[in-house]
Amino acid sequence: MIYIDGLVIPVKAGTDSAGYARFAEAIAPIFKDHGATRIVEGWADDVPDGKVTDFRRAVQAADDETVVLSWIEWPDKATRDAGMALVREDPRMVPAGAAMPIDGARMIFGGFQAVLDV
């Protein structure tokens, strides 16, 4: 069954969905080259404030920032573990002089074993 990396990512002020999509499109092939089968990026559209917590508070998003929900699908955990190690070492991950539209320090991420895939 597939293995999933789930991410909630704060997007810096001044970045619109098209700008974020360009960034994501530039790095998606790196994950695919190292074994990922699918990458999905979701721009916040209906993300309400919660009573206890919510997506925005989870990443400490400022009022002028937004959040992205992203997931990366892998065939299995072994492929993900090997692929993510290669992604971290891939020089294409941080193009020289490229401004990152996200704050990686506040990003939440984790790996998940699929229990249902319908």
CATH (domain of 52): 3.30.70.100
Cβ atoms of 24 and 93 within 8 Å: the answer is no
- The phi and psi torsions of 3 (rounded to 5 degrees) equal -120, 140
Residue 85 has pLDDT above 90, yes or no: yes
pLDDT in tens, 90-100: 999 876 666 78
The arithmetic mean of pLDDT across residues 68-94, rounded, is 96
Q: Is 14 a member of any domain?
A: yes
**Encoded amino acid at 80, one letter:** R
Whole-model pTM over 0.75: yes
Cβ atoms of 108 and 58 within 8 Å: the answer is yes
pLDDT in tens, 13-53: 999 999 999 999 999 999 999 999 999 999 999 999 999 99
Domain that holds residue 33: 3-113
